[in-house]
Amino acid sequence: MNDGPLAGIRVIDAATLAAGPLVATWLGEHGAEVIKVEQPEGGDPLRQWGVQRDGVGLMWKSLGRNKKCATLNLRHEAGRDLLRDLARAADVVIMNLRPSTLRKWGLDYASFAVVNPKLVMAHITGYGAGGPKSDRPGFGTLGEAMSGFAHLTGSPDRPPTLPSFMLADGVAALNATYAVMMALYHRDVHGAAGQLIDINLIEPLARLLEQPVLTYDQLGTIPGRTGNRWDISAPRNTYLTKDGHWLAMSGSAPTIAMRALRAVGRPDLTTDPKFAETQQRLENAAEIDAIMAEWIGEHTLDDAMAVFEEAEVAAAPVYNAEQLLADPQLQARGVFPSVPDSQLGSMRVQGPVPQFSATPGRVRHLGPRIGEHNEEIYGGLLGLSADRRRQLHEQGVI
């Protein structure tokens, strides 16, 4: 039995790969019942995505947490009928098929609303509905390129840099998750109908990168790549320590920048207008950067961090995965619990974010096998007989 603030909410996760399934994952952590429907052969491509152990996809195990898995082939009309039946009994449906495919298959929001006017549908695509590109296939990489992220990321003399993780998908999923919650609030508190949420992989990330748009609109200039520096903060970079580690620092607040200068033995610069005044400090960022790099390069990571922590400077080591798991702050907060699993024995995953005092999120189990809950979903929820389920299986529908 699910508990948590979303207990009683049923979500149909009919999306594939990252953004849509992530929305369902986060809702499921906080009590929603999530039914994952995927192709009978192979399931969600997410199962084969990234690193495997003994043929088991590790990303799937994490993103499939808390979900009930049922197979469903939407290429069959009988499969689409079953999805409509599930939607009739659901609060939320998450889809990522192209808009034209939804209309052709009768799985668009208007069709769902006929059988369930209270349904909230999150439709996440590469480009969003409407416009000349709405039906093109889109993936996170394209969102990271078109949003402006890649243009700003990397060194000035090097190519634009793409992230090695699902950034655009993750940012879109976060937007979609809070959008679902707002739509449910509007429905349940104001007595309204459900609605369609249209999200693409470009706009949510572009919103976080809005400053270049504002700069171009008002000043006519196009910001470029600055490596790990940022033109709104100095010092701000990664610095190599004497023992070969990297340390990151942020001087976003003027008081922090002044503390950093004092910590590296340059209190004289705190009264120099070139460094004490914010705009002047930004204009002389290269000089202050060199001062920090020289001092940090003469100290080990532990020694440098001891000085910065004593001086309350905003600095942190650049962690790899091993160091992240070993961090005492994160250990004290229980960020990476070890979850038992029938296929892997157990696996450490990151727990729910954020942490609630009264209704904490839970990882009840990791990603199930393909079709593990077919009997519960089709026999229990939809009430299909064993003969009908067997027939649908033989036809390749489930």
Q: How confident is the model at residue 219 (pLDDT cuts 50, 70, 90)?
A: very high
Domains in the chain: ranges and CATH: 10-207+333-394 (3.40.50.10540), 236-240+246-317 (3.30.1540)
Q: What is the reported pTM?
A: 0.93
Please give the share of the chain, as a percent, with pLDDT higher than 70: 100
Is the CB of residue 196 less than 8 Å from the CB of residue 109?
Answer: yes
Alpha-carbon Rg for the chain, nearest whole angstrom, is: 25
How far apart CA 75 and CA 107 sit, in angstroms, is: 12
Segment 181-209 shows an average pLDDT of 98
**Which of 13, 108, 169, 289 is the catalytic position?**
169
Q: One-letter amino acid identity for 130?
A: G
Q: What is the pLDDT of residues 376-393, one digit of tens each?
A: 999 999 999 999 999 999
Segment 361-372 shows an average pLDDT of 98
Q: Which helix (H) or strand (E) holds 208?
A: helix 203-208
pLDDT at 376: 98
Structure tokens at 130: 């409407």
User: Is 302 tagged catalytic?
Assistant: no
Residues 6 or more apart whose CB falls under 8 angstroms from that of 308 comprise 249, 260, 263, 315
Q: Which of 322, 363, 347 is nearest to 52 (CA)?
A: 347
pLDDT at 251: 84
Q: What is the pLDDT of residues 286-311, one digit of tens each?
A: 898 999 999 999 999 999 999 999 99
The DSSP symbol for 130 reads S
Q: How confident is the model at residue 148 (pLDDT cuts 50, 70, 90)?
A: very high
pLDDT at 1: 62
